[in-house]
Amino acid sequence: MEHYPGLRTVKRSIRMTEVIGLIIIAIATVVAGATEVISMFKAMKVTLADLLLMFLYLEVLAMVAIYLDSGKLPIRFPLYIAIIALARYLILDMKNLESMQIIAIAVTMVLIAATVLIIRYGHLKLPYEDRNNLERSLVNNEKSKDTQQESDK
């Protein structure tokens, strides 16, 4: 059911570009994580900031894996990454931050966490249909209408 000639080729090209971009992101994340692990071994020291950075890398990899697997990006993952990044920033720069900046960062983290809860609650209480299922049900409805009209004649 292609409405425009060449649309399938354009969609395929966009999907290929997405996959290539995601592979580049995954490779860059693995390289950055390996570099961080090597620097921890050289320093013979692991700090909380290092661990949070490793969590950031793992979240990015999980996000890439989910996107490659399902073709969808759960909005919660970037929000988790934002919370971890803010926590890391707070830990690293606590000594250099004014008290109002610390409060602002903490409030931002709480707001993002509340957003995650609201989104999660919405997905549980108000689930949406999968696009493929929705398209199938629309096609089936059209077929049943056609069948109904033919039987009425």
| 74-121 pLDDT per residue, tens | 888 899 999 999 998 998 888 899 999 999 999 999 999 999 999 999
Domain count across the chain: 1
**CA–CA distance, 142 with 136 (Å, rounded to integer):** 10
Mean pLDDT score, 33-50: 94
**pTM value?**
0.68
Query: pLDDT band for position 129 (50/70/90)?
Result: low
Confirm whether 32 is domain-assigned: yes
Nearest residue to 30 via CA among 72, 62, 67:
62
Confirm whether 105 is domain-assigned: yes
Supply the mean pLDDT for the chain.
Answer: 86
Residues 6+ apart with CB under 8 A from 91: 48, 49, 52
Q: Which domain holds residue 73?
A: 7-152
| pLDDT tens, position by position, 14-38 | 999 999 999 999 999 999 999 999 9
Q: Report yes or no: 76 and 120 within 8 Å, Cβ to Cβ.
A: yes
Confirm whether 1 is domain-assigned: no
Query: Tokens 């909380």 — which residue?
Result: 48
Confirm whether 2 is domain-assigned: no
